[in-house]
């Protein structure tokens, strides 16, 4: 597969990711307790719509269609955000979970844009690299803003008393089981590393 084909596949993945976020960000904004966090999610929704438009421009330049690839990675990251919205937490502790989900999302996008920019540069597609760099810069800024808002949220959450242990939900039990399976599968490779 030629690098130009890899680039198109990666860009389709990013296009899918951004479109999924257009649907997910309003839910995060609605669920957030912190007014600053609500505002950041709403602002980033507008930026995300602009990023979708830039990606459409990139596909026009390349003479390709933007559809054809579903981003499973972003689907998983968004599901983690949905899980954070379902947690039975109060106040700052609840928002702390949203901060974690939001930062994972931003870093996923940062990785995707960083890779596609380098591919475009190697292919001599400076106009494509320029549009993708605009998206990357917005993602970097969004991550910094989320971290900035997180400081007061995390400090407040750290001062809250520990909650009483609640019985695990079916979803939590399933996640716990999958985590144990992951650990068991990785154990032989980890032992080899230590030896």
What is the per-residue pLDDT across 69-106, written as a single tens digit (0 to 9) for each? 999 999 999 998 888 888 767 778 888 889 999 999 99
Structure tokens at 83: 């899980």
| Structure confidence by residue, pLDDT tens digits, 22-65 | 999 999 999 999 999 999 999 999 999 999 999 999 999 999 99
Residue 111 in this model has a pLDDT that exceeds 90: yes
Average pLDDT, the chain: 89
CA dihedral of 55, 57, 60, 61, whole degrees rounded to 10: -100
Q: What is residue 107's three-state secondary structure? A: helix
What pTM was computed for the model? 0.85
Residue 41 CB-half CA count within 13 A: 27
Confidence of residue 192 (pLDDT cuts 50, 70, 90): confident
Q: Give the pLDDT confidence score for residue 37 in this predicted structure.
A: 93
How many other CB atoms are there within 10 angstroms of residue 75's CB atom? 13
The pLDDT, as a whole number, for residue 163 is 63
Cβ proximity of 10 and 116 under 8 Å: yes
With cut-offs at 50, 70 and 90, classify the pLDDT of residue 134: very high
Output the pLDDT for position 194.
60
pLDDT of residue 84: 82
Name the region of 65 (left: φ>0; alpha: ψ -120 to 50; beta: rest). beta
| pLDDT at residue 120 is higher than 70 | yes
| Secondary structure (3-state) at 54 | helix
What pLDDT sits at residue 73? 94
* 99 contacts 153 by C-beta, under 8 angstroms: yes
Residue with the bigger pLDDT between 86 and 14: it is 14
User: Residue 113 pLDDT > 80, yes or no?
Assistant: yes
Q: How many angstroms separate the Cα of 118 from the Cα of each of 137, 143, 150?
A: 14, 21, 31
């Amino acid at each position: 597969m030629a690098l130009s084909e890899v680039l198109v596949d990666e860009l389709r993945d990013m296009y899918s990711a951004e479109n999924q976020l257009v649907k997910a960000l309003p839910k995060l904004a609605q669920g957030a307790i912190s007014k600053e966090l609500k505002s950041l999610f709403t602002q980033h929704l507008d930026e995300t719509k602009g990023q979708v438009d830039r990606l459409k421009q990139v596909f026009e330049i390349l003479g390709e269609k933007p559809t054809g690839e579903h981003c499973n990675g972003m689907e998983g990251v968004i599901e983690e955000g949905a899980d954070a919205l379902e947690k039975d937490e109060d106040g700052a502790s609840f928002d702390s979970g949203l901060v974690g989900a939001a930062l994972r999302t931003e870093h996923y996008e940062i990785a995707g844009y960083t890779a596609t920019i380098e591919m475009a540069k190697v292919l001599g597609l400076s106009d494509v690299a320029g549009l993708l760099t605009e998206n990357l810069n917005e993602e970097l800024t969004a991550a910094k803003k989320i971290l900035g808002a997180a400081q007061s949220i995390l400090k407040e959450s750290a001062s809250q008393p520990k909650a009483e242990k609640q019985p695990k939900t079916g979803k939590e039990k399933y996640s716990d089981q999958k985590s144990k399976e992951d650990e068991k599968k990785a154990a032989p490779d980890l032992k080899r590393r230590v030896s």
